[in-house]
Amino acid sequence: MVYIGIDLGGTNIAVGAVSEAGSILAEASTKTLSQRPFEVIVKDMADCIKKVLVKGKIALDDVKSIGIGIPGVADSDSGIVLNCTNLGWVNVPLRAEMQKYINKPVLIENDANVAALAESYVGVSAGCQSSVMVTLGTGVGGGIVINGKTWPGAHNRGGEIGHMTLVPDGVPCTCGNNGCVERYCSATALIRMARQECYSFPQSAILQKAGGDPDRINAKLVIDAAKEGDAPALRVFNTFVRYLALSLNNIVAFFDPEIIVLGGGVSHAGDFLLDSVRALLPRLQMFKSLPGPRVELARLGNEAGIIGAALLGKNTYV
Ligand SMILES: [Zn+2]
């Protein structure tokens, strides 16, 4: 059997046909153009699936299910997208609309959970019974996988690590609260802290790399400056790592997963980030002599969205 996986993003929709073993057999993509009515976007998604089937010479009868990873919250029972800020979707009947075109089981879940599932099947956490994936991008996403299944939570809000409170009365968050993990551990946070540092230390290599324009500071540039040993950049990076390690330690205290997987744009800092987190996390843990989870970098990259969404079908229907 073949499983269709769809990575629905604010800019692009990537569709793939995935084998039982979790490898992509054929793929295609289309622009989301999120201002359009959702019915038109879903029709494009269905057309993209048909294109993938032709490309991969796959018969519709061989398709077991369609899985969709969304940047938001869905009700897995009803197949309704409850809230998807990037797309401006509230209470969108995504499953019913998709089944107008292709009558197969449709499973919908948050994209961070989907990425965590992909890693647990064919990525760095394969073979682990419990894993938590933390994506460090524009925001901070979290996904929980237990015994090969995602844990969406009783109210589809499980794993929202980015919105755990880290700093009481801290930086305002898009979710309506203050001081969320996302405001201190995302690429956005790294950039904000770097701009503040450059205000006090304008000679920093960060600002030089940005051509003297604070608006051009991005996460990669801050990390590159820190790798070169620039003191202000290192202060920013170390502050970032401390917030991240504190957040991960909260996950360990509450959930104690076998492995924590770091993904998203900031994780491209590679060993520079991984070594720092691995050095600090054991020092924060309770009962220091007890073993803690492995911390690893995600392995799958962009294809995690397609593979994980497809595996939602395998997850439920096998
Ligand atoms: Zn928040």
Kindly report, residue by residue over 167-217, the tens digit of the pLDDT: 999 999 988 899 999 999 999 999 999 999 999 999 999 999 999 999 999
Ligand 1 centroid vs 240 CA: distance in angstroms? 17
Tell how far the Cα of 177 is from the centroid of ligand 1, in angstroms.
5
Whole-number Å distance between alpha carbons of 286 and 267: 25
What percentage of the chain exceeds 70 in pLDDT? 99
- Helices marked H in 132-230: 182-185, 187-200, 205-209, 219-227
**166-110-85 Cα angle (round to 5):** 75
**How deeply is 47 buried, as exposed, middle or buried, from its count of CB atoms within 10 A (0-12, 13-18, 19+)?**
middle
Q: 173 C-alpha vs ligand 1 centroid, how far in Å?
A: 5
Query: Separation of 99 CA from ligand 1 center, angstroms?
Result: 33
Ligand 1 centre distance from Cα of residue 176 (Å): 6
Distance between Cα 191 and ligand 1 center (Å): 17
Instruction: Please tell me the predicted confidence (pLDDT) of residue 316.
Output: 57
| pLDDT profile of the chain (318 residues), mean per 10 | 95 95 96 94 97 97 96 90 89 97 96 94 95 94 93 86 96 93 96 96 96 96 97 98 98 96 95 97 88 94 94 71
In the reported structure, the alpha carbon of residue 269 is separated from the centroid of ligand 1 by a whole-number distance in angstroms of 24
Strand 259-263 to strand 130-136: parallel, antiparallel, or no bridges (unpaired)?
A: parallel
Distance 65 CA to ligand 1 centre (A): 33
Ligand 1 centre distance from Cα of residue 18 (Å):
34
Q: How far is the CA of 43 from the centre of ligand 1 (A)?
A: 32
d(CA 242, CA 168): 16
CA of 74 to the centre of ligand 1 (A): 18
Q: How far is the CA of 47 from the centre of ligand 1 (A)?
A: 35
CA 203 – ligand 1 centroid, Å = 33
The environment of the single-atom ion ligand 1, i.e. residues with CB closer than 5 A, is 163, 173, 175, 177, 180
- What is the sign, positive or negative, of the torsion defined by CA atoms of 202, 207, 213, 214? negative
Q: How big is the chain by its Cα radius of gyration, in Å? A: 20
Identify the pLDDT of residue 100: 97
Question: Which residue type occupies 277?
Answer: V
Q: Which two tokens stand for residue 285?
A: 């843990």
Q: What are 56-73's pLDDT values in tens digits?
A: 999 999 999 999 999 888
Rounded distance from Cα 132 to ligand 1 centre (Å): 19
Distance, CA 178 to ligand 1 centroid (Å)? 7
Distance 165 CA to ligand 1 centre (A): 8
Looking at residue 94, what is its pLDDT? 98
pTM for this prediction: 0.91
